Amino acid sequence: MAIKFVPVEEFDRVHAIATYCFPWMHNAKDKIKNFLQQYVKSEYILGYYDESGTLMAQVVVFPFEIYIGGKPLKMGGVALVSSMPEGRHGGRIGQLLTEWLKVMRDRGQYVSMLGPFSFEFYRKYGWELGFERVNYTVPIEHIRNFKKIGSLRVVTQEDIGALDKIYTKYALNHNGSAKRDDSLWKEFTLSHPWDDNYGRYAYIYMDEKGDEKGYIIFTIKNGRMDIYEMIYEDVSALKGLLAFIYAHQSQIGEFSWSTATDEKLHVLLPNPRVKREIHTGMMFRVVDIKEAVKSRGYGEDATGRFKIKVEDKDAPWNQLPFDISLKNGIVDVNECSDPELFCDIQTFSQIFIGYITPMEAYKLGKLTGDVRAVEQMEKVYKKSYTFNNNGF
């Protein structure tokens, strides 16, 4: 057997394995094939080859940047994890994931994300739940009282800069949000390579002064508006966007919106009795503790110090005890011999991205040690509502 990067000449085999393992892809198999040809490079795919030299399993890692603490970090997005059935339960995917940790570290991708088919499976290799979303389903008549304010216009290519300005303000305060370039905006946000034929509509909202303050990206089908993304800078922009949604009352009976869990739309509604569900989302992993800690952002006034030992069997470079100190937002990381706190890489990853706080982890028994050190760690790693809307 061998693990190596899959050459472009074998992308038809990559496509065949992926569509076998993910039946939904059959409905868009031509679009998926075009996606592989247009966006995927050989260096993105590690494959497991059997003794005959046949590709039998694969893991794709796409290069992204995400914001953590208001600063972009390179992130490896794990996708298309797939194996032919005759070789399953033999540890092939585990070997590929472990090899990818080494590659991501070498590439400076010190954090990683994935959308799991099974939380239990990926947890074995160090990834852990790091995201959740609130899903609203709202009857259209619940927003009939919102009156038109400001104005909206259809988004054009010239609006990408304005959209990105609004989005980035939001992303800087929601850990895990992707940093978007023109391609990510045009080809994976305003549209998508394997979208259905309905497509996405996009409008930008302007206040009464003409300043861009929000936007909405959505589809309409089967009597419902599905909001892919709606970002706003203030409550007036939100109300203006809600009035715009209500303008579709002859076309839709309800709208759905999946977003970060700090959204409190129902509080604004005259009748807050709407469907509001919290759904678990993507998993997150710190690939290299020392480098990730040094690379993320911190509050300018943040000051704290703690010593920690993290268990990470698949990334031995993470198992050194670290002395992590922060003074006025400047971080320093050194090895030490006297750790005060102990946890596994899964827990450290959740704390690092802000999904749970150190004290929450301590109370849950996921972080152990000196409570005074936990209090210091609380000063370094703050709670964040995580968000990522660019799947892979």
Residue pLDDT, tens place only, 90-115? 889 999 999 999 999 999 999 999 99
Mean pLDDT computed over every residue of the chain: 95
The tokens describing 351, both together, are 């704390």
Q: What is the pLDDT of residue 171?
A: 98
Q: What is the mean pLDDT of residues 55-65?
A: 97
Chain centre to alpha carbon of residue 370: 32
Q: What is the pLDDT of residue 342?
A: 98
Is the pLDDT confidence value at 87 over 80?
no
Q: What is the mean pLDDT of residues 242-255?
A: 98
pTM for the structure as a whole: 0.95
Residues 6+ apart with CB under 8 A from 158: none
For 115, other C-beta atoms within 10 Å of its C-beta total 16
Cα–Cα distance for residue pair 140/132, rounded to 1 Å: 25
Q: Cα torsion for 155, 188, 351, 299, to the nearest 10°?
A: -40
Q: What is the pLDDT of residue 192?
A: 82
* CA-to-CA separations, 43 to 39, 40, 151, 166, 223, in angstroms, rounded: 12, 8, 45, 33, 43
Q: What is the mean pLDDT of residues 127-150?
A: 97
Contact at 8 Å (CB) between 16 and 33? no
| pLDDT cut 70: percent of the chain above it | 100
Q: Is 30 or 196 the better-scoring residue by pLDDT? A: 30
Q: What is the pLDDT of residue 196?
A: 65
User: How big is the CA angle at 104 (ends 133 and 47), to the nearest 5 degrees?
Assistant: 95
Q: What is the mean pLDDT of residues 285-310?
A: 97
Is the pLDDT confidence value at 195 over 90?
no
Query: Which of 82-86, 108-112, 202-206, 373-377 bottoms out in mean pLDDT, i.e. has the lowest?
Result: 82-86
* CA-to-CA separations, 364 to 343, 356, 357, 361, in angstroms, rounded: 12, 10, 11, 5
Instruction: Label residue 292 by pLDDT band (50, 70, 90).
Output: very high
What strands lie across the sheet with 254-259, from one edge to the other?
A: 151-154, 201-206, 212-221, 224-232, 254-259, 132-139, 275-280
Q: What is the mean pLDDT of residues 342-357?
A: 98
Task: Spell out a b/e string for 373-391, using b for 16 or more CB atoms within 10 Å of the CB, else e.
Answer: bbebbbbbbeebbbbbbbe
Q: What is the pLDDT of residue 164?
A: 98
Query: Which of 26-30, 242-246, 264-268 bottoms out in mean pLDDT, i.e. has the lowest?
Result: 26-30
Is the pLDDT confidence value at 27 over 90?
no
CA-derived radius of gyration, the chain: 23
Q: What is the mean pLDDT of residues 66-75?
A: 98
Q: Which domains does the chain have, with CATH numbers?
A: 2-109 (3.40.630.30), 134-280 (3.40.630.30), 289-343+356-380 (3.30.1050.10)
Contact at 8 Å (CB) between 55 and 14? yes
Q: What is the mean pLDDT of residues 114-124?
A: 96
